[in-house]
């Protein structure tokens, strides 16, 4: 099972001239779509884990839909603190089928042995995240219906972990994180894909690998402690699910990484 993890796209329609977008997010997403179309084998699906746009406006969601249009594989969305449920619902009604336009975006998809559950940690007006009772009920019912099936969880905000975040807005709130951990206990959770904090990291949380991806907007340099240091650096995750578990390779997208040497596959295969 091969799939990609994209996050924090922060797409902005050019007419908005948003001063809070620091990189070419339109070009970044377009470049990645081109890469995906050349992949062989093609990914089985693509995960987009929130902050799809920067302002949560209809025009930017329409641009997102059009840019992703060439991709033939399933696209799994969840929302982040920069998103807007009603605007997303207007542009992607098929993703929100049978749910009110202001309801959290949560659903389950199945790919062979793996089920993927997406949850919506957006709390309107807040930078930090959380989950409501409807989502907890949905998650419990989904896990109970397939108690032994390997499950991948997708949510924009990482769960709260003591000592991991410098600021409280960097995660879901503690109460909802603890409730989530209790629900996930004793289930086969292969991993949790998150974004929000704009850097790559993997943390073991109650035995679950939480994989946070840099994203397509910028990089926050965590070695700088006296400021929020933002760099022009983007990336995505190349994910594989095997019988023995989940693997994620963090790949840079920008700035361009020139190929300094290319060894033919036939030669590499002979290495011992």
How many Cα neighbours within 13 Å face the side chain of 45? 17
CA pair distance 208, 140, nearest whole angstrom: 17
Q: Which two tokens stand for residue 183?
A: 């629900």
In the chain, helix, strand, coil percent, each to 5?
25, 25, 50
Task: Give residue-wise pLDDT tens across range 39-80.
Answer: 999 999 999 999 999 999 999 999 999 999 999 999 999 999
Q: Which two tokens stand for residue 118?
A: 């997406």
Q: Which residues of the chain have pLDDT under 50?
A: none
Please state which CATH class domain 2-268 belongs to: alpha beta
How many C-beta neighbours within 10 Å does residue 224 have?
Answer: 11
Token match 């290319």: residue? 262
Backbone angles phi, psi at 221, to 5 degrees: -80, 110
| Pair 170, 196: CB distance under 8 Å | yes
CA pair distance 209, 198, nearest whole angstrom: 18
CA pair distance 59, 49, nearest whole angstrom: 20
- pLDDT attached to residue 258: 85
Token match 């086969």: residue? 188
- Domain assignments of the chain as residue spans, ordered by start: 2-268
Radius of gyration of the chain (CA): 18
Task: Give whole-number Cα distances, 54 to 13, 22, 208, 214, 257, in Å.
Answer: 9, 11, 29, 16, 26
């Amino acid at each position: 099972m091969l799939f990609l993890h994209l996050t924090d796209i922060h797409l902005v329609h050019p007419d908005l001239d948003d001063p809070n977008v620091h990189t070419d997010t339109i070009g970044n997403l377009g470049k990645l779509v081109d890469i995906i179309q050349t992949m062989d084998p093609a990914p089985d699906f693509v995960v987009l884990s929130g902050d799809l746009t920067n302002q949560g406006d209809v025009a930017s969601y329409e641009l997102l839909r059009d840019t992703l249009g060439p991709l033939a594989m399933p696209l799994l969305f969840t929302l982040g603190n920069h998103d807007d449920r009603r605007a997303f619902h207007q542009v992607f009604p098929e993703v929100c089928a049978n749910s009110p336009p202001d309801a959290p975006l949560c659903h389950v998809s199945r790919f062979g042995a793996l089920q993927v559950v997406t949850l919506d940690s957006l709390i309107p007006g807040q930078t930090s995240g959380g989950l409501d009772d409807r989502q907890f009920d949905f998650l419990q019912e989904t896990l109970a219906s397939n108690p032994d099936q390997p499950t991948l969880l997708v949510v924009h905000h990482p769960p709260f972990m003591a000592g991991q975040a410098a600021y409280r807005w960097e995660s879901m709130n503690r109460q909802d994180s603890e409730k989530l951990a209790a629900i996930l206990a004793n289930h086969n959770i292969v991993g949790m894909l998150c974004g929000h904090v704009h850097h790559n990291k993997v943390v073991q949380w109650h035995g679950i690998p939480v994989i946070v991806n840099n994203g397509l907007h910028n990089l926050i340099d965590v070695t700088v402690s006296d400021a929020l240091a933002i760099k022009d650096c983007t990336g995505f995750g190349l994910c594989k699910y095997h019988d023995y578990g989940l693997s994620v390779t963090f790949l840079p997208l920008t700035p361009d990484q020139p190929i300094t040497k290319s060894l033919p596959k036939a030669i590499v295969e002979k290495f011992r």
